Structure 1
Amino acid sequence: MKITAILSALAAATLVSAGKFHLPKDNTVELQPHGYIIQYQDNISRANAHSNLKKHAIDYKVRNEYDVFNGAAITVKSDHDGEAIASVPGVKHVWRIQRYSLPKTTSNGGGKVDEENSVHHMTGVDAVHKKLKLTGKGVKVGIVDSGIDYKHPAFAAAGATEGCFARYGKNCRVKHGWDFVGDAYTSFNTPIPDGDPMDCRGHGTHVAGIVGGNASNIKVGPTPLVPWIGVAPDVTFGAYRIFGCEGFTSTDVILAAMEMAFNDGMDIINMSLGGGSAYKENPTSILADKLVSFGMNVAGAAGNDGSEGVWMVSDTGLGETSTSVASFDNAYGAYYTVSYAGGKYPYNFSSAWGKAIDLPASATLFPLFDKAGVLLDGCDVNTYKDLDVKGKVVLVLGDYSKCGSFARGEVAKSVGAAGILAATTPFGMTNLAGAPGLPMASIENRAGQAILAAYKKNPKNVLTWAKGPSSVRVEGGGAPAEMSSYGLDGDLRSKPDIAAPGGNIYGAYPRSKGSYALLSGTSMATPYYVGSQALYYEKTKTKPSGPDVRRVFKNTATISKNFQSKTFTSAAKQGAGLINVWNALTTTTHASPDRFDLLDSDNFRGVQKITIKNSGKKTETYTLSHVPADALNSYSKGNAWPHPKPIIEADYATVKFSSNKVKIPAGKSVKVTITFTEPKVGDAKQFPIYSGYVVATPSREDSPAVHVPYIGLKGKVRDVPIMDSDLGLPMAGVRKENGDIEEIPKDFVFNFKDAAPAVVVRFASHTPNFTIRIHDAKTDKFLGYVVSGSDIALGAMGRMTNLNDGKYSSATFSWRGLVLQTADLTSKPVQLGAGSYKIFVASQRKLTKGAYPADYEIFDMGIFNVSA
């Protein structure tokens, strides 16, 4: 369906109900000055909306107009703010324009992955290529990213040995696209769009290569170290460039790119973008759901915030029908290696060193261990006392709880060490910042232990550094990636939906940047899932609905375990599991819905129904069973801020079926009632998130089982801490004229000019409605909600990351006397004068109706005396 068809359904009308202004998530989110996204009421036409804005004297400049989204992006030139825009008749939602970054990916400088050890073995894509001969031909995939190097030979048409010479020309598989921003765009300047989506950053080219690059027959230009092939090597691409060569992009640009991809007839959109945690009522998720309802499929990266703990899945894939994709590490990766005592070990060099390590044999190994023979971390210079490490490579334990890689690198330099090898704990390799001028690298935990044991047997062994990368089996490979973000969202919905390989993925890179690279992130997992969908589209020879495709892949995914674990990983980490493309394309069984959200103890949805459909040609008997997964405890010590690494517990739900076996004729469906009982173990006051999988196994051995994930929270989610009281927040201070916030002196009298009250907050989890309320100190009468600059303290907020640029993340609201008197935004802000006021920070508890004060977490900030 095209734009014109959709517009015919949008009849002009004028409504008087007020819209809703959504607060920015926190002050770590960059915002466009005076920039707003507006969504109109469903039956409001563009002309009527603009007329209403002008009638309310709002002076603005249009940045972008949206048809499917039914709205616009504007820059406001008058002094009107978000709540003023939301009060205009016909306006449904208003958001500040947010800046988005490309997610941080990791790289060890490139290398090769042997064909026999390809990532496609993990997912069954190799079998689909060989046995089903599917390549994604005829399927259109839109890459909303940094562009594509469309002249790269990996994107040449089938049979061609070199890339295209002109944009969208001969041999090109990139047939559509647009540059929305220009090379110089950073989001802090004006976009200069044109028709050339050439990639100058690399991210979009790598993403496109995973979807459908083909480097199996390249004969000109830089060639890969080993031939490789993307998931769907014959797809047609649309390149929608939303990033310049540096910097950020913004919400208004992303929406414009999504709509153009739709209008160009893309079947699937890939959005490997970096957002923050939020509710699904954000512009990209709303538009994604609309596009899916009109026949597209949209996938977004779940985010790379696994080190932050729960509640951190990224906002791009939070739509009800779009897909949020988590990441697994590739079982094999390309790394430089160091050999010692007959063993060959991969290493990941520090970003400060930035290249392969090439030390002479005279730089021998010196493990830094205590009297018990246990490796030390190397943070304390005193541990080197009376030890001769000059010119030697020090082996230390990679535990960074005491100091970082820079600090221990500086210590090693001060005692004359030639380099450092840090054995990661508990496993795998990590990314080190390192110390300038010092060869420094992370090695796997098993490598560190093996090297230490070999040294104790023969200290005279020497280190040998390989000149180039090679393919190695990666410790932790084939399991959920540590960096992949945990769910849930603020409504306890099961996100992420599914996982795909995203760690150690070798593929295309712009020719100007070396042509090939090995990167890691959910940015890489998302296109793997998108390419797999393209294979499904080709096989079915139809354009199935987005929810149907997502369900098939979730039904047939491989339920997986963490590395070296005997239990299954939480659905809050892996979703339905690792994508199994062969099973998805060959299954004749379907189960719906594709998830069970059990919610919490107060709102427990313990009785559910599963529909099992037999699409095969013969009657089939299915056995129903339950596979429990790890429960995640983030509040075991009564803490307000979630543990960065949730504690795994055996808190398992009990599952009973109305029938344990069902016989289903060909082409028919059967419904089975499932009764869930919350885990008997696990402390409800610590809010463990439990999960598992309902499995339907056919009697025929050649037919794969299908499953549906479930997830719930034991305890009352309304009691999950919202504010980070562990750090003493929220807190009140004095906002000085220079912007600094100071502690309030005893008996201090504020004023609204150069000594205004300020409130600092820090969100430990989501809230559907955050408010800062002003009351009269004498009568306790409610006077209004704080208006701080262009923002009002009123609206949904997602969880913050722990740190931002090395400092604790927080948001500050300065109050200079402006309040909004009603929550429906129909009133204008009013200025209060001198007086005595109470300030309350009140956050609505999750899954409540929002009755005040019963449904709010409230902090009384005290009485503030304000002079004229």
Structure 2
Amino acid sequence: MKITAILSTLAAATLVSAGKFHELPESIRTVPRGYIIEYQDGVRHNDAHNSLRTKNVDYKVRNEYGIFNGAAISVNSKHDGKDIASMAGVKNVWPITLHSIPKTKKGTKKPTDPETASLHHMTGVDLVHQKYKLTGKGIKVGVIDTGIDYKHPAFAAAGADAGCFARYGKNCRVAHGWDFVGDDYTGDNTPKPDSDPMDCQGHGSHVAGIIGADARHIKASPKPPQPFVGVAPEVTLGAYRIFGCDGNAGDDVIMAAMEMAFNDGMDIINMSLGGGSSYKTNPQAVLGDKLVARGMVLAAAAGNDGSQGVWMVSDTGLGDLSSSVASFDNIDGRYSSFSYAGALHPYAPSEAWGKNIDLPASATLVPIFEKDGTLSDGCDETRYAGINVKGKIVLTLGDVTRCKSGGRGTIAKTAGAAGILIQSTPFGLSALGGNPEFPMAAIEFKAGEELLAAYKKNANATFTWNNKQSNFLIEGGGSPSDFSSFGLDGELRSKPDLAAPGGNILSTFPLAKGGYSVLSGTSMATPYVAGSHALYMQAKHAKPRGDEIRKVFKNTATISKNYGSKSFTSVAKQGGGLINVLRAIETTTSITPDHIDLLDTNHLRKSVKITLKNNGKRTETYTLTHVPADALNSYPKGNSFPLPTPLIEADYASVSFSQGKVKIPAGKSAKITLRFKEPKAGKAAQFPIYSGYVVATPASKGSVAVQVPYTGLKGDVSKVPIMDTDEGFPVLQAVNAAGNLTDIPKGDFKFDMKKFTPVVLTRLGSHTPSFEIRVFDAQKKNFVGYMSTKTSGSAVGSTGRQKNVDDEGHMVFSPWLWTGDVLTAANSTEPTTLASGAYQIVVASQRKLTPGVYPKDFETFDLGTIKF
């Protein structure tokens, strides 16, 4: 068991120098007056608490952390995060962030479809089970989630105590656990911890089943829809429950679970949670790196924001040593289908409809077009004007930028349509919510194109709806999931790290909720990686720390292509590629480092050294080659907000090697210099993210080739737009007494801060090391402070980009409602209320990879002068 250093034995440190307060944007939900404090190295908890008390901070301890060396507190006095950060002995302070239960997608496949349980052949895990008889036995995996239904028969083990079906604990598959919160916890109330980590929500049980369920021989009810097995069916599990039956969980609770998992002796922790882009300085990532440095593995979900474009990889896995996991879809599926103009196409009915579609042949097709002749998204009812759709089947595009399936279904139904087919974009079969009384279905993108072509030839072509399901090689199968988030992070670091199957995965669910379910998400890919680490540890009879195993998995992953593409998918989407556990176990070669960050044109790392090591028993000769991958263009028209789906371009870097071939004796290493040149194609003003792989192939037959991914950005990243000016941000407006936004009245208007209050609206399309709203005296032209608000906090500090739209399809932006308070300096501890007068408002965002000299290194917008 790992032992945490006992802080009380440390010599008392001198409490000196102030720490840093990490301000968060208004769009991120936090616990009111709740903070996470990291103490300086060597500072004892008692000394830190005494320092708070001497400053008259009235607080309550929520959690104490040993490895992190800090605490989570609730403050009852007027002190805020900046006050606490200014106190002696404090290193960092963060508001406690609330994280929602990950929003997975209900699988588009049924639990009885064979392919939902056939994913192991994509990764070599089926051969690892058969050839090496590896099961993860002796390895401990902690699941930090909604708990685990430890009574589920899929978690039974041969020789386990009979009582394991009524409890968890020693000699059971779920041997460790704790409920940090209680059923009723939502993130907005007080946790009520107890010793029972039973799952009442489902997410954690599904995750745990992917890691280690065994449902091959269950005869008890509810019976599995088909036999299936997790990646490592004999691992020992720890259930660390951080969510109630619904709602959110705070960082403070999550970090307490991370430390308990470590102290319980978990070798691996699975964190299928997180959300929103950030920097690696978030507290979960900081603690995660500390745990990995002490020998653990941390697997974290990359996020399900693939429809939001680049810069969106999730925060939990951003640590230098952790593994951020992307998702791949299963290769094939079993679907309902229809024939149109002689061609057979699969479809996925909406969740609300939930059954086969059976419409009469008289219900012919009617595509809905935009004015420019392109297929419409169906979100604008005026597009139906003059078109007879009564009793017919409408075809629309599945772009969710403006509305979701329910909205476009309502419009089609109101117009009199018999049903609607929605062409998935960019490919695959999208999951639709839909309307319960209106037939709706997703079709593949290719199917939509074929329907349009057939319609133009014969508008009277008819449908035949098939009652039985059939097997189809689905669009996107075996490729990165469209929902999986894109990198890079705000410092142009390569994230995600690698990928695993996460689309349409059959696994366990609480017995009270049916026992089994098919879900999709990076939440499903992450436990696949956690289980794969367990197999690797068992195979090597060792427990290397997470970043060491990550290197092996990245070296040996399967580099993949987007569906139907001849080129390889961007590293910003798939990381090192799809995990291949068989290759990882059998390889005798490694490349260090496991990724290369080339940064941008101004900081280009033109020369990079890699170390190629031969761990085999004989001399090996390696050939070095370069495999370019897709470039992602998110700013093709000079747009200020990245495209929801980046354009794929053939912007390829060139790579030369100091040695094209190298002979390395057994057990020895060789250093090879890589020289990079940026792509000739691609416009620097559009900031394409280019990427690829350097591959070392052994000459010996049957030996495993290894590779290292690289990423770079052509152009000056400091010129990447931060504020979304295309949508009119930033803008200064007024809020009236009713709480409604209005334009500021014209003329010599003066805010009374009651009937009319000024508000600044901002919307960030990419990260910034410091987002600021600066206030200047309009007469003297001198800086008086950073805008500070009671509702959104203070406008100064690093932040990630914002989503394009939220889960309801509403545009995401931040309102800064101002009543005259400012922080006179970035490290100020108390807002100052300005005297009545005229003040100039400037929104400023520090550009990436710059020193932060104002205004030289900032994107600035002068919003004019206001009076109050």
2:94 match: 95
Structure 1 residue 422: deviation in Å? 3.1
Distance 2:110 2:475 in 1: 18
Structure 1 residue 634: deviation in Å? 0.9
2:788 match: 787
Aligned-partner SS, 2:316: helix
- Structure 1 contact 155–163 (Cα < 8 Å) conserved: no
Distance 1:318 1:430 in 2: 28
1:860 match: 862
Aligned-partner SS, 1:18: coil
2:80 match: 81
Structure 1 residue 195: deviation in Å? 0.9
Q: Deviations over 1:804-829 (max 9, x none)?
A: 3433211122332322222234x543
Structure 2 counterpart of 1:830, which letter?
T
The answer to which of 681-690 and 405-414 deviates more is: 405-414
Distance 2:274 2:22 in 1: 19
Q: 1:721 to 1:150 in 2, by over 3 A?
A: same
Distance 2:529 2:637 in 1: 38
1:807 match: 810
Aligned-partner SS, 2:481: coil
Structure 1 counterpart of 2:128, which letter?
V
Structure 1 residue 741: deviation in Å? 3.9
1:773 match: 774
1:744 match: 744
2:186 match: 186
Structure 2 counterpart of 1:606, which letter?
K
Distance 1:121 1:224 in 2: 20
Distance 2:389 2:843 in 1: 58
The answer to which of 726-735 and 585-594 deviates more is: 726-735
User: Which residues in structure 2 correspond to 1:339-738 (within 5 Å)?
Assistant: 345-353=345-353, 355-357=354-356, 359=358, 362=360, 365-369=363-367, 390=391, 398=398, 404-414=404-414, 417-447=417-447, 462-466=464-468, 472-736=472-736
Aligned-partner SS, 2:422: strand
Q: Deviations over 1:342-372 (max 9, x none)?
A: 977543222332x22364x75765222599x
Structure 1 residue 612: deviation in Å? 0.4
Distance 2:205 2:678 in 1: 46
1:821 match: 824
- Structure 1 contact 364–393 (Cα < 8 Å) conserved: no
Structure 1 counterpart of 2:303, which letter?
G
Q: 1:146 to 1:118 in 2, by over 3 A?
A: same
Distance 1:402 1:823 in 2: 38
Q: 1:395 to 1:674 in 2, by over 3 A?
A: closer
- Structure 1 contact 153–164 (Cα < 8 Å) conserved: no
Structure 1 counterpart of 2:764, which letter?
F
TM-score (normalizing by structure 1): 0.93
The answer to which of 98-107 and 284-293 deviates more is: 98-107
Distance 2:757 2:394 in 1: 54
Structure 1 residue 858: deviation in Å? 1.4
Q: 1:327 to 1:733 in 2, by over 3 A?
A: same
Q: Deviations over 1:537-576 (max 9, x none)?
A: 1111111021110000000001111111111111111111
Structure 1 residue 842: deviation in Å? 1.5
Q: 1:684 to 1:643 in 2, by over 3 A?
A: same
Structure 2 counterpart of 1:846, which letter?
K
Distance 2:533 2:299 in 1: 10
- Structure 1 contact 368–376 (Cα < 8 Å) conserved: no
Distance 1:374 1:651 in 2: 27
Structure 1 counterpart of 2:770, which letter?
N
Structure 1 residue 94: deviation in Å? 1.0
Distance 1:205 1:688 in 2: 40
2:279 match: 279
The answer to which of 845-854 and 737-746 deviates more is: 737-746
Distance 1:751 1:460 in 2: 65
Q: 1:748 to 1:407 in 2, by over 3 A?
A: same
Distance 2:541 2:260 in 1: 24
The answer to which of 404-413 and 655-664 deviates more is: 404-413
Aligned-partner SS, 2:46: helix
Q: Deviations over 1:684-733 (max 9, x none)?
A: 11111111111111101211110111111111111111111112211122
1:291 match: 291
Structure 1 residue 68: deviation in Å? 1.0
Q: Deviations over 1:48-102 (max 9, x none)?
A: 1111111111111111111111111111111111111111111111111111012
- Structure 2 contact 311–767 (Cα < 8 Å) conserved: yes
1:840 match: 842
1:152 match: 152
Distance 1:22 1:761 in 2: 19
- Structure 2 contact 116–504 (Cα < 8 Å) conserved: no
Structure 2 counterpart of 1:770, which letter?
F
- Structure 1 contact 365–463 (Cα < 8 Å) conserved: no
Structure 1 residue 334: deviation in Å? 5.0
Aligned-partner SS, 1:531: helix
- Structure 1 contact 60–76 (Cα < 8 Å) conserved: yes
Structure 1 residue 614: deviation in Å? 0.2
Aligned-partner SS, 1:208: helix
Structure 2 counterpart of 1:793, which letter?
A
2:63 match: 64
Distance 1:386 1:689 in 2: 43
- Structure 1 contact 161–218 (Cα < 8 Å) conserved: no
Q: 1:789 to 1:472 in 2, by over 3 A?
A: same
1:237 match: 237
Task: Give the number of equivalent residue pairs.
Answer: 859
Structure 1 residue 200: deviation in Å? 1.1
Aligned-partner SS, 2:299: strand
Distance 1:155 1:820 in 2: 55
Aligned-partner SS, 1:222: coil
Structure 1 counterpart of 2:75, which letter?
V
- Structure 1 contact 630–650 (Cα < 8 Å) conserved: yes
Q: 1:221 to 1:338 in 2, by over 3 A?
A: farther
Structure 1 residue 615: deviation in Å? 0.3
The answer to which of 409-418 and 91-100 deviates more is: 409-418
- Structure 1 contact 409–438 (Cα < 8 Å) conserved: yes
Structure 1 counterpart of 2:816, which letter?
F
The answer to which of 175-184 and 855-864 deviates more is: 855-864
Structure 1 residue 515: deviation in Å? 1.0
Q: What are the ranges of 5 or more consecutive residues in structure 2 without an aligned counterpart?
A: none
The answer to which of 730-739 and 581-590 deviates more is: 730-739
Q: 1:718 to 1:163 in 2, by over 3 A?
A: farther
Structure 1 residue 193: deviation in Å? 1.1
Aligned-partner SS, 1:585: helix
- Structure 2 contact 336–346 (Cα < 8 Å) conserved: yes
- Structure 1 contact 109–517 (Cα < 8 Å) conserved: no
Structure 1 residue 423: deviation in Å? 3.8
Q: 1:842 to 1:453 in 2, by over 3 A?
A: closer
Q: 1:606 to 1:356 in 2, by over 3 A?
A: same
Distance 2:200 2:284 in 1: 24
Q: Deviations over 1:514-539 (max 9, x none)?
A: 11111111111111111111100111
- Structure 1 contact 119–332 (Cα < 8 Å) conserved: no
TM-score (normalizing by structure 2): 0.93
Aligned-partner SS, 1:351: coil
Distance 1:674 1:88 in 2: 47
Q: Deviations over 1:160-179 (max 9, x none)?
A: 79993221158730100111
Structure 1 residue 14: deviation in Å? 3.0
- Structure 1 contact 162–218 (Cα < 8 Å) conserved: no
